[in-house]
A and B are shown apart, each in its own frame.
Chain A
């Protein structure tokens, strides 16, 4: 698990390196403020053994229309390909709904960004094509996203939308790679008990000039 602050930069690195990474992302965050503890999340002593589902600990809050747009956008970001199915098929919309509905500060910070982004997409779709974003053809949707997918190089008037897109892509990927399908897509073969740990195969080390 990664500490929430890791979003900012350190999590370009691999995901579960709790101790090291967790303590690296400090610079961008203030310490958790006392009053936040009063918010109703899962608390400081949750049952760690049960399996949780979105909507179970706090209610989901996106409307049907918002969830439709979320689905369209998530699948535009992570469509099915020859290796794995699309984002929506692994429950990414539920993940995002759970995220923007959660009481935690990072989630609360993302909520207005995501909702404003949804509104912007629909407004932009209406302006260009007279339809909502979800109703557009894929090529039309891509035409809009191509202009906001690279936050660093987006036009000044689209900077906010680009920041939304970057955040939304991160959340889509978070939902996708948290799933069994995502793990398989990346060829993750760990988290299984082994009788011994042999390390990487010698052929690989030889190929890389490491032995």
Chain B
């Protein structure tokens, strides 16, 4: 099979794709299914879901009960290899010691990138989200509309499998018939939140996640995905048949050995590999895009991590899909006489307008949920219901004090007991121990809820990355990024609004808030990068002076150089970015194929 070492690569390819996560996976899939010869370069090691995923392992089988440590910051069983906000030997730098200016950069070094670990929440951006500046005068408009991307959202949903429902709510798009899988049944706690938040005018609707609540339609979907391309239809039908529906157990962030949820290695890469058009080299740390005399990219330089040696790979087209900041870093490190400030940076906008998602949370305890009879609350691992942003009109009328919205994710139920089940519950028990303590834990188990806001950040001039002027290099000798970060009042007020809203919901359930409600937005908001939705840095736009790429993810400066990851986002709606990354990557890949057919690339 076409996993190749640096020595076994072909002398040249049609396209090099840097990165193997959502963006790289989608780019390679689309290109390969239409016959392009692709080399995928992944910085991390090879990783296989089928025989590496701890599906039913319980806390007692792991060190320290599986609790998160500095080695595995999302828990022992999280599907992250050599990753986290710190990667061994691959530092980054902050421009200030001030925690308010801190950016946390999450990376993973593994095939599939962050798609093993991710939350699988798959929401479409809506019409407003592509034209935010037109709507409220802030940030940037995208050079595309929702209608430009809608067909690609359809395709991604049909390919990867997303559950959800069509509710017709404002700026919360419906999917065409047949795109969405049925949502899972809500839990008791979900329905209580729905009832009580509903009384406050806060709507709850089924969540959207990339989990197969039933098998994909392997007869119907392939023809909708690849009309007229019989071989692609066959390959994707076969790949769909090999995926099992959800087993209604085990957390999705461990990955899924039966391929019931989306991760790049179980959904995008198998059909791409089966096409015979994809070569993958892992342990290939790309650090530079190389430029020919004609001003076009002719390949990339990378470190072969197995030997430590510098290597080169050649192609007609280079697609960067290494994650927003890593793609930016590669370009900033690709300097030449023509591009002394970094490749494709004639605008000076490379690294600018980094955005994350605004995050803030409140937890509480609800007496109505105490001492309930045992129920299996595993469902599809959460997000049965969620709250889409519901105050568009009030916001546009200027009544809220912040310009952009957030959605609410929440969780409750009788989840796998473990480290946290009875931790810190003195505030409820008064410090019981002995038999009474065991009784108390039984009573409170399943009565806790946590609410997390996920809100839109407006891009600003003070949130960006650059090559560290101090000259820091990683263990491969590659210059590292330095980050600067600043929230605006819009984000801080939004975070404070989240806190008071969550407290209101908890109180409406007759519950008690854990800890204090943070009315100061600066205290309520999570650090930049903490929500791991970082996008921007090479934003797309309508003109070359103010953006790095055009609407096709094609850099203005180098016609055969594309960026298909979150770096091109011109705004970062409250909707989690991964689905949009895939839709954009698919659209860009279609454009690349078309231009290659026209011999323009």
Measuring CB to CB, which residues of chain A are less than 8 angstroms from any residue of chain B?
1-24, 26-27, 30-34, 36-37, 39, 41-46, 48-49, 51-52, 54, 56-57, 76-79, 81, 83-84, 95, 98-99, 102, 104-107, 142, 145, 149-153, 165-166, 169-170, 173-175, 177-180, 182-183, 185-194, 196-201, 204-205, 208-211
CA distance A81 to B418 in the complex (A): 20
Contact between B416 and A204, CB atoms less than 8 A apart: no
Contact between A32 and B84, CB atoms less than 8 A apart: yes
Contact between A1 and B75, CB atoms less than 8 A apart: yes
Residues of chain B contacted by A185 (CB below 8 angstroms): 438, 442
Contact between A9 and B515, CB atoms less than 8 A apart: yes
> What are 17 inter-chain pairs, A to B, with CB distance below 8 A?
A1-B418, A2-B68, A10-B420, A12-B424, A16-B418, A18-B253, A36-B70, A46-B71, A48-B53, A49-B52, A78-B437, A142-B434, A149-B432, A151-B426, A174-B419, A186-B441, A208-B368
Measuring CB to CB, which residues of chain B are less than 8 angstroms from any residue of chain A?
45, 52-54, 56-78, 81-88, 91, 99, 102, 104, 118-119, 184-188, 191-192, 195, 246-251, 253-254, 359, 361, 363, 365, 368, 372-380, 382, 409-428, 430-435, 437-439, 441-442, 445-446, 448-450, 452, 514-515, 523, 526-527, 530-532
Given contacts A22-B75, A23-B359, A95-B65, contact A197 B54 (CB under 8 A): no
Q: Assuming A21-B420, A41-B70, A190-B415, what are 13 further A-B pairs, CB within 8 angstroms? A: A2-B75, A2-B420, A3-B68, A19-B119, A20-B410, A22-B73, A23-B359, A24-B450, A102-B64, A178-B59, A178-B417, A188-B417, A201-B375
Contact between B64 and A18, CB atoms less than 8 A apart: no
Contact between A197 and B421, CB atoms less than 8 A apart: no
- Which chain B residue has the least Cβ–Cβ distance from A145? B433
Contact between B530 and A26, CB atoms less than 8 A apart: yes
CA distance A36 to B87 in the complex (A): 11
Contact of B375 among A32, A142, A169, A204 (CB under 8 A): A204
Contact between A152 and B65, CB atoms less than 8 A apart: no
Residues of chain A contacted by B439 (CB below 8 angstroms): 81
Question: Chain B's nearest CB lies how many Å from the CB of A113?
Answer: 15
CA distance A1 to B374 in the complex (A): 21
Contact between A205 and B445, CB atoms less than 8 A apart: no
- Which chain B residue has the least Cβ–Cβ distance from A16? B416
CA distance A98 to B426 in the complex (A): 24
Residues of chain B contacted by A152 (CB below 8 angstroms): 426, 431
CA distance A145 to B446 in the complex (A): 28
Contact of B420 among A15, A78, A191 (CB under 8 A): A15
Contact between A11 and B372, CB atoms less than 8 A apart: no
- Which chain B residue has the least Cβ–Cβ distance from A86? B438
Residues of chain A contacted by B526 (CB below 8 angstroms): 23, 26-27
Question: Chain A's nearest CB lies how many Å from the CB of B95?
Answer: 15
Given contacts A48-B52, A174-B423, contact A13 B411 (CB under 8 A): yes
Contact of A186 among B81, B104, B427, B442 (CB under 8 A): B442
Given contacts A10-B450, A177-B417, contact A205 B523 (CB under 8 A): no
Question: Chain A's nearest CB lies how many Å from the CB of B49?
Answer: 12
- Which chain A residue has the least Cβ–Cβ distance from B88? A37
Residues of chain A contacted by B54 (CB below 8 angstroms): 48-49
Question: Chain B's nearest CB lies how many Å from the CB of A176?
Answer: 8
Contact between A17 and B417, CB atoms less than 8 A apart: no
Chain B interface SS verdict (over half): loop
The 3 A-B pairs of least Cβ separation, nearest first, read A1-B75, A199-B185, A150-B431
- Which chain A residue has the least Cβ–Cβ distance from B89? A37
Question: Chain A's nearest CB lies how many Å from the CB of B499?
Answer: 11
Contact between B450 and A20, CB atoms less than 8 A apart: yes
Contact between B422 and A17, CB atoms less than 8 A apart: no
Contact between B379 and A197, CB atoms less than 8 A apart: yes
Contact of B415 among A6, A17, A46, A199 (CB under 8 A): A17
Contact between A31 and B361, CB atoms less than 8 A apart: no
Contact between B419 and A24, CB atoms less than 8 A apart: no
Question: Chain B's nearest CB lies how many Å from the CB of A35?
Answer: 10
Contact of A98 among B63, B86, B434 (CB under 8 A): B63
- Which chain B residue has the least Cβ–Cβ distance from A152? B426
Residues of chain A contacted by B88 (CB below 8 angstroms): 37, 44
Contact between B434 and A76, CB atoms less than 8 A apart: yes
Question: Chain A's nearest CB lies how many Å from the CB of B577?
Answer: 14
Residues of chain A contacted by B378 (CB below 8 angstroms): 190-191, 197
Given contacts A15-B418, A107-B64, contact A21 B78 (CB under 8 A): no
CA distance A180 to B359 in the complex (A): 34
Contact between B411 and A20, CB atoms less than 8 A apart: yes
CA distance A48 to B214 in the complex (A): 28
CA distance A23 to B254 in the complex (A): 16
Question: Chain A's nearest CB lies how many Å from the CB of B210?
Answer: 13
CA distance A124 to B523 in the complex (A): 40
Question: Chain A's nearest CB lies how many Å from the CB of B516?
Answer: 10
Question: Chain B's nearest CB lies how many Å from the CB of A95?
Answer: 7
Question: Chain A's nearest CB lies how many Å from the CB of B235?
Answer: 28
Residues of chain A contacted by B186 (CB below 8 angstroms): 199
Contact between A9 and B363, CB atoms less than 8 A apart: yes
Contact between B413 and A14, CB atoms less than 8 A apart: yes
Residues of chain B contacted by A142 (CB below 8 angstroms): 434
Contact between B81 and A45, CB atoms less than 8 A apart: yes
Contact of B419 among A2, A20, A49, A192 (CB under 8 A): A2
Residues of chain A contacted by B420 (CB below 8 angstroms): 2, 6-7, 10-15, 21, 174
Residues of chain A contacted by B421 (CB below 8 angstroms): 14-15, 173-174, 177, 182, 186
Find the residue from B102, B448, B526, B530 having the highest chain A CB count within 10 A.
B448
Given contacts A14-B446, A23-B361, contact A7 B424 (CB under 8 A): yes
Contact between B417 and A186, CB atoms less than 8 A apart: yes
